[in-house]
Amino acid sequence: MKEYHLLVNKTARYYTLGQLNEHTRHIWFVLHGFGQKAERFLKCFEPLLNEHTFFIAPEALNHFYLNGSGGDVGATWMTKEDRDNEIKDYINYLNDLYEQIEAEQFPDATITALGFSQGASTVTRWVNATPHRINRVVVYAGEVGAEVFPLHEASPLRSSQNYFAYGTRDEYFSLSTIEKMKGAYAEMNFTELKFEGGHSIKTEVLQKLF
């Protein structure tokens, strides 16, 4: 038996919030976590919306039923199955999306890439590999993709402003685990955004980035 791979076209879905125009000063790519969908995730950022800010929420390419064979559907960026190709696929997808919205046409806008939970490893792999400008990276309640370390000499993660946001009562990461994560991520020179709470987006934590 031999295994083969074939590149195919696939339709990706994404949502936006706000207007992208000459008044835009902040462009945010926000990547959801495991089992979430982009539309609902993007609603978390509505309190941060203003005339100078544009949000774009890509949805992961893989969908599945959250419970059994019917009902609510979620999305995932990758699984352990054919992992390397799934990573390549979503990096290409995010690069295509960046080009689709013509983000480079807004040189005065700060471009931020935020990944929540599973989206955190996704966003760090993307930024580490992309040729496109990303000014800030927010790893929110998630892990950095382990294979990005050590950072290669030209890694955009060396020049971006990096933030590590976590709650003191996160259901998935104990405080002792978070301390180990911060040590492992020292190379990224994170600014810490610590808040009281669990595994969820707190817009007041992000307000200081505007």
Structural domain boundaries, residue 152: 17-160
The tens digit of pLDDT for each residue in 10-60 reads 999 999 999 999 999 999 999 999 999 999 999 999 999 999 999 999 999
Helices (H), 130-189: 175-184
**Res 70 pLDDT > 90:** no
Residue 154 domain-assigned?
Answer: yes
Residue 202 domain-assigned?
Answer: no
Contact 129, 91 (CB under 8 A): yes
CATH number at 103 reads 3.40.50.1820
Contact 175, 148 (CB under 8 A): no
Residue 11 domain-assigned?
Answer: no
Instruction: Tell me the longest C-alpha to C-alpha distance in the chain.
Output: 57
Residue 12 domain-assigned?
Answer: no
- How far lies 206's CA from each of 75, 121, 130, in Å? 24, 19, 24
Q: At what angle do helices 83-100 and 118-129 cross, to 10 degrees?
A: 70
The tens digit of pLDDT for each residue in 104-156 reads 899 999 999 999 999 999 999 999 999 999 999 999 999 999 999 999 999 99
Q: What is the pTM of this model?
A: 0.94
If DSSP codes are grouped into helix, strand and coil, which group holds residue 109? coil
Residue 152 domain-assigned?
Answer: yes
Residue 96 domain-assigned?
Answer: yes
Residue 26 domain-assigned?
Answer: yes
Residue 46 domain-assigned?
Answer: yes
Total structural domains in the chain? 1
